Amino acid sequence: MAVYDRIGVTYAETRRPDPRIDAAIRAALGGARSVVNVGAGSGSYEPPETVLAVEPSEVMIAQRPAGLAPAVQATADAIPLSDGAVDAALAVLTIHHWPDLARGFAEMRRIAGRIVVLTWDPSMARSFWLSREYLPEDAVEWDIARCPPLGTVTRLIGPDAAVIPVPVPHDCTDGFFGAFWRRPEAYLDPVVRAGISNLAHFGDALAPAFEHLAADLDSGAWHRRHADLLELDELDLGYRIVAGPA
């Protein structure tokens, strides 16, 4: 079973594309006239130039809005396109789920002239207050272990790969893990957590962490400790676009 057949049921409800992140992805795609969206999920950030979406989960494919590109139930390591079929291959917050990362990137290099990946730098895991102050260490370590280092991603794309920081807006509309850095109460919502793969993976085991967060919000301790965050419009939590070749 694809992982999102289990945890992706409410994904379209909480993971709506953010226009500022979308603009960064479009800029990285440059003038690509044909795109394949690999690990496409429910179609977030899918540009109109997309000719095919590749997604292993039936549950996610079923949530794709009408009018998007055709979707095929397949995986990154076996993309059903011929060599050089598209200008660009796009992968948005998905590579940490791939069982064979090198093969997935080899497939993208085979079918596309350009690769654009939105990913997360695991070396910044503990820069985020949720990981540093509330989540148990085994959950943080699990997330770090499954996310490929930026050096690995750039190596698999090629020597000319560019790394572009993607700061998270304070009102981000895409409910990924770091999206609610200035809206901590959102993490208390089980529907929000269900759309965040690392939190969904641990499920009820994280109940004490969120009880702790709820208590700190009720007492005002969180706001006293993080008053500086409330003045920021965006925050760098390690999300990065890696794109190449130039």
Domain 3-244 has CATH 3.40.50.150: yes
pLDDT tens readout for residues 25-79: 999 999 999 999 999 998 999 999 999 999 999 988 998 999 999 999 999 999 9
Mean pLDDT computed over 225-243 = 98
Domain boundaries, the chain: 3-244
Report which secondary-structure segment, H or E, holds 238: none
**pLDDT on residue 2:** 55
Alpha carbon distance 11, 134 (integer Å): 24
Of residues 8 and 163, more confidence is placed in 163
- Mutual orientation of helices 150-157 and 101-111 as an angle, nearest 10°? 30
pLDDT tens readout for residues 193-224: 998 999 999 999 999 999 999 999 999 999 99
Q: Which residue has the tokens 């992140």?
A: 21
Residues β-bridged to residue 174: 15
Chain centroid to Cα 222, Å, comes to: 26
Token digits of residue 244? 């190449």
Yes or no: say if 76 and 39 are a contact pair by the CB < 8 Å rule. yes
